[in-house]
Amino acid sequence: FFWWCSLYRFSTVLTIASSSVKEEIIENMKIGFDESESCVRFFFDNKVDLNNCIVCIENNKIISSLHIIPTKIYGESGLIPVDYIYAATTLPEYRLKGYMSRLIEASNQISYLRGNRASILIPANEKLFEFYNKLGYKSFYKYKKVIISNFQMKNFMHKANICTKNLSFENVFNMYLKNHINLGDTIWDKSSVEYAFNMNEFLDGINVYTNDGYAICYIQKQNTVKIAEFSTIPSDVYNLLGNIYYRLPNHNFYEIILPANYNHINITGKIFNHGLIKPYTSELKYFIKKISDGAIDPYFSFTLE
The CA distance from 245 to 254, in Å, is 9
* Region 222-250 average pLDDT: 96
Tell me the per-residue pLDDT of 26-36, one tens digit each, with 9 for 90 and over: 999 999 999 99
Confidence of residue 23 (pLDDT cuts 50, 70, 90): very high
What per-residue confidence (pLDDT) applies to 6? 39
Q: Output the furthest CA–CA distance in the chain (Å, rounded).
A: 67
Residue 123 has pLDDT above 90, yes or no: yes
Tell me the per-residue pLDDT of 240-257, one tens digit each, with 9 for 90 and over: 999 999 999 999 999 999
The CA distance from 103 to 108, in Å, is 9
Cα atoms found within 13 Å of the Cα of residue 47, Cβ hemisphere only: 29
What per-residue confidence (pLDDT) applies to 126? 87
DSSP 103-162: HHHHHHHHHHHTT--EEEE--SSTHHHHHHHTTT-EEEEEEEEEEEEHHHHHHHHHTS--
* Region 171-186 average pLDDT: 91
Confidence of residue 221 (pLDDT cuts 50, 70, 90): confident
DSSP lists the bridge partners of residue 275 as 141
* Region 115-122 average pLDDT: 97
What per-residue confidence (pLDDT) applies to 74? 94
* Region 165-171 average pLDDT: 91
* Region 226-235 average pLDDT: 96
pTM of the model: 0.92
Residue 1 has pLDDT above 70, yes or no: no
Kind of pairing between the strands at 118-121 and 138-149: unpaired
Residue 11 has pLDDT above 80, yes or no: no
Higher pLDDT, 303 or 148: 148
